[in-house]
Amino acid sequence: MKTSAKFIVLHPSLHKPGGGGGGTPTVASHRAWLVVFVLFFIFTFAFTLFSTRDTGSAAKIATNAAARAKSQLPRPVFDALLHYASENITSSAGRMSFAEVKSVAASLRRCATPCNFLVFGLTHETLLWNSLNHNGRTVFVDESSYLISKLEEKYPPLEAYDVQFTTKVNELYDLIEHYKSQVTNECRPVQNLLFSDCKLAINDLPNHIYDVAWDVILIDGPRGYSSTTPGRMGAIFTAGVLARSKRGGAAETHVFVHEIEREVERVCSDEFLCGENLVETKESLGHFVVGKMEGNRNRFGFCSGSGSSVSPEST
């Protein structure tokens, strides 16, 4: 009988759970998930590390920038120092002395922030005044539109306005007589100067200037060294009205008049700022403290005394 060999081939069932080769795909699947988890962990760790480092660097840069900004001089102070360091100091004509500058600076330092400082005249001290009143408002008024434009071109942050003065030094006593005839009308001490027809009133500044409660006013201009120059009659009269008419702010205004030994400055200070308000004189600088008259707006006359000591002679 003829026999033949038989071979039995066993095929593992793909559907049979457990044992044998049936566990291989599950192990492979677990390993794949493990790899994905590890990669995800590595990526997250790296991202967090670099993000934290970048944030720390940005914060450090910002902190350093803030520290540099805090340590830097304010721009007005920087400009002033640069200006005076480069100036020719051999000539002192028209400049204030140390004692005079110190007197104005003391009032600015005592002034409540922000301090409102009005200056008549562009002088050697212009940038100094702007710097000393840092964080306050400083406004300059001058007769020269050319100097105003050059100043604004070189120092854009400065606020300055030009005025066309119509007075002359040789008209002093005619203007005083005009004032006396109009003291109850156009030249009264409490009024809105925008609408004044008094010959001594400066009424062509921007409207908002008249609404400011000025804390300190310095009169160091316009020119007054000869009979045909404008003189400071209008500036002193205007300062007296602004101090008495202001609404809000401090009850008193500090008014400084430079070169007060000259006839125009002495006579007009006596008339419009009043000897009773003079608190000190430092060399050529008179310092007046003028109070508001809002509680007595019907009073006519700038001074409370019976009269002034106006006379052509110098004392």
Bridge partners for 289 per DSSP:
254
CATH number corresponding to 97-296? 3.40.50.150
C-beta atoms surrounding 70 within 10 Å: 7
Q: Which residues of the chain have pLDDT under 70?
A: 1-30, 36, 41, 43, 45-73, 78, 81-83, 85-93, 295-299, 305-315
Nearest to 119 by CA among 171, 111, 128: 128
**Model pLDDT, residue 14:** 47
**Model pLDDT, residue 166:** 92
Model pTM? 0.73
Provide the mean pLDDT of the chain. 81
| pLDDT tens digits along 153-174 | 999 989 999 999 999 999 999 9
**Model pLDDT, residue 47:** 63
Sequence ranges of the domains in the chain: 28-59, 97-296
**Model pLDDT, residue 300:** 72
Query: How far, in Å, CA of 26 to CA of 20, rounded?
Result: 12
* CB-based contact 243:210 (threshold 8 Å): no
**Model pLDDT, residue 5:** 52
Q: What is the CA radius of gyration of the chain?
A: 40
